[in-house]
Structure 1
Amino acid sequence: MIVEVMERTPAEVFPPGEFIREEIEARGWSQVELAEILGRPPRLVSELIAGKRAITPETAKGLGEAFNTGAQFWMNLESSYRLAQVKQDGSNSVSRRAKLYEKAPVKEMMRRYWIQPTENIDVLEKSVLDFLHIKSLDEQPQLLPHAARKSTSYAEHSPAEQAWLFRARQLAQAVDVKPFSEMGFASALARFKNMLRDPEDARQVPRVLADAGVRFLVVETLPQTRIDGACLWLNEKSPVIAVSLRFDRIDGFWHTVLHECAHVKYKDGLEDGGLLDTDLVGEGAGTVEEKPAIEKRADEFAADFSIQKSDLDNFILRVRPLFSKTKIQGLSARLNVHQGIVVGQLQHRKAIPYSHSREMLAKVRHIVTEAALTDGFGSFLTTAV
């Protein structure tokens, strides 16, 4: 009877229907009679006993009342049986997949073809490990020597940020450049001086840097990342500037490029890798006080390169608070820089609101991506370049 049923060991893992069969036989009932007692169709009882139908809470309540056991007894039997039917995953695919997703933004990496899309856990794990240059899921990926410009904490490196940097390094090896020299790099910077006026001149940046031995490429940001650019080093003679073009505006492009050029100039990130910037153009820009010394230096270099601080200071003193478009265009013409660069610096200095003269912020993303090796913005490269 019921006492005997309750003493059965769960290891036997019988379907609940076996217990129902024993109970009605002990009472001398037929399946039809049990169906009448429960007020349910005979077919339901038949399917319960045959194990073709699961016990629902409603059925468990009826069985509990019919056999004087309580509904929980039958729900426990049903749960134990169903769990026992689930095949054990010998590959531990769930836990392995969870670890992979902790290590990297796997889904987005497959969507962007940074790794080969696959449902096979073994293939997926190998792809992620190879991408991050680690041998096991218990190993932590080592951040590449770099200095980067982003708007999240300098002390934190999210898996997505690391993945972006690894992708930039991976693709940079496919960029053809001349041997790097400090003299050639200084010459490239001098050429940049005459490229700040016309947005179309942004097209020349990849070639000018390549002639100086600096690899330049574009990698679109991943979701949840706010990196604008990075300076990586394949080795001490192979600097890389990667930009995300997250802000499609001329001032943001040039400030980021020149900021990373400062890192190349001073060899930032060559030995002290793991440094990430938090300063950005736009309303989310970090304050100077938040930045490490080398980031302040890179920001000052980028800003002064396009507009000398003294020139901007004098302009602000003379014009404030009447920053008309005509006056901004006049300063732009006198300094031979695009008016959008003037607007961007005035916004960053909080001399004008971010809503002021936004139409002057020319877009350059379409120009740059036509000339540079680009991963993103609808043009996703395969894992092998």
Structure 2
Amino acid sequence: MSIAACLDDVPHPGEFVREEIEAREWSQRDLAYILGVPEQAVGLILSGKRGISPEMAKALGKAFDVSADYFANLQQAFEMSNARAPDPAVERRARLQSAYPIREMIKRGWLTDTNIGLLEQQVMRFFCRNDLDAVPHLAHAAKKADYRETSPVQLAWLFRVRQIAAEMPTVGYSASKLRAMVADLPRYMRDPEEIRHIPRLLSECGVRFVIVETLPKANIDGACFWLDNKSPVVGMTVRHDRIDNFWFVLRHELEHVLNGDGRGELDGGQVDVDLEASGSRDDLPPAEKRANDAAQDACVPADEMESFYIRKYPYIAEKDVVGFAGRVGRHPGIVVGQLQRRMNRYDWLARHKVKIRQFLIGASVVDGWGSVAPASL
């Protein structure tokens, strides 16, 4: 096969070099002398056995008084024409990864790393659809940084919560039981260890409670959605591992459940704003304002907090906070969290905001931090 008979009829650059030296009536030895290289090196290029390096392209450009890019582009065109076609799976994997956090989902054990055909089937089963382009925005009420749109990463997290919740056994949902349980929450807010009772209490009310570690850049603290009109789910990430954040997020989501927010696929759900960044914003949807107010009042009764703040600010001593927390029956870290937000001083008495994830992991259905919750595609 001649060097010109290449794929797509793109000849080897040596063919053009040969034409140049013939036009000048040079010999192969003449060109080698001009270039200052062994004659054999020129012969390998002319025979198509060696490509033109960037250095050789520059040298040939000087020898023939043309641009070095001319020979460099000839070499590139030849190499591209002879390059093997990529595995079709490359494009399909890129499509998946562009839409969803596939690599992270595999790492977390949500999907199995396998051939592209089986991987695509897994993704469709994960999102409960037969077409990758038909993955819906699940009706939900998710507390996250931007409530205007559910990103693919957030959607993947929500579907993982849904996948796990769908396999959890529970009793029928009772709004009256949940209201009674919510009213009784303060008794569990004194001691961080008491948090371990929450998953059981919610299950007794018919609420599926799932903890799924957040995905990178998802910025979700929690979500409320419904498997059907009688099956509420509360999912949390506990990405802010602090006692004040846990109780605020939990009560926020339970308010969504009690109000029926996010119920029904046609509803579209209520999306919650990241409370760390925008809990005091005035442009939130009404459902979010109601949930924020309920959560804040549960953490520290609003009238009690207002009275304490007026009397003590700006000279609030640590002993005053501890005493006030004891009087209202809350852990000091919960009171500190509320005061920090009011004062915009998030380092103030921060040591009281103890970690609580450890008390949840043994008592809840947890997916993340090295553990994969049992759920089938």
Q: Give me the TM-score of the superposition, normalised by structure 1.
A: 0.88
Task: Give 1:85 shift.
Answer: 0.8
Equivalent in the alignment of 2:366: 374
Contact kept, 8 Å, 1:102 with 1:159, in 2: the verdict is: no
1:318 & 1:44 partners in 2: Cα distance?
Answer: 91
2:19 & 2:281 partners in 1: Cα distance?
Answer: 79
2:118 & 2:22 partners in 1: Cα distance?
Answer: 54
1:342 & 1:124 partners in 2: Cα distance?
Answer: 48
2:87 & 2:322 partners in 1: Cα distance?
Answer: 69
CA distances 1:9-67 after superposition (whole Å, capped 9, x unpaired):
99422222344456657877654443223211234223323434321233223334545
The match for 1:58 among 34, 55, 60 is 55
Task: Give 1:270 shift.
Answer: 0.2
Give, as a single letter, the amino acid of the residue that structure 2 aligns with 1:99.
R
CA distances 1:90-131 after superposition (whole Å, capped 9, x unpaired):
73x44433332232112211211221124x333333332332
Tell me whether 1:233 sits opposite 2:226 in the alignment.
yes
In structure 2, list runs of 5 or more residues that go unmatched: none
Task: Give 1:348 shift.
Answer: 2.2
Matches within 5 A, 1:145-294: 145-150=139-144, 152-271=145-264, 272-281=267-276, 284-294=277-287
- Cα distance change, pair 27–254 in 1 and its aligned pair in 2 (3 A): same
Give, as a single letter, the amino acid of the residue that structure 2 aligns with 1:375.
D
Equivalent in the alignment of 1:97: 93
SS of the residue corresponding to residue 371 of structure 1 reads: coil
1:244 & 1:72 partners in 2: Cα distance?
Answer: 55
Tell me whether 1:354 sits opposite 2:350 in the alignment.
no
2:16 & 2:346 partners in 1: Cα distance?
Answer: 74
Equivalent in the alignment of 1:86: 83
Equivalent in the alignment of 1:46: 43
Contact kept, 8 Å, 1:113 with 1:381, in 2: the verdict is: no
In structure 1, list runs of 5 or more residues that go unmatched: 1-7
1:65 & 1:357 partners in 2: Cα distance?
Answer: 73
- Cα distance change, pair 144–70 in 1 and its aligned pair in 2 (3 A): closer
Q: How high is the sequence identity, in percent, across the aligned residues?
A: 41
Matched pairs, number:
372
Give, as a single letter, the amino acid of the residue that structure 1 aligns with 2:175.
E
Task: Give 1:367 shift.
Answer: 0.9
Task: Give 1:233 shift.
Answer: 0.7
Q: Mean alpha-carbon deviation: is it higher for 10-19 or for 258-267?
A: 10-19
Q: Give me the TM-score of the superposition, normalised by structure 2.
A: 0.89
2:274 & 2:168 partners in 1: Cα distance?
Answer: 27
RMSD across aligned positions (CA): 2.7
The match for 2:300 among 303, 307, 313 is 307
1:44 & 1:214 partners in 2: Cα distance?
Answer: 77
Contact kept, 8 Å, 2:7 with 2:81, in 1: the verdict is: no
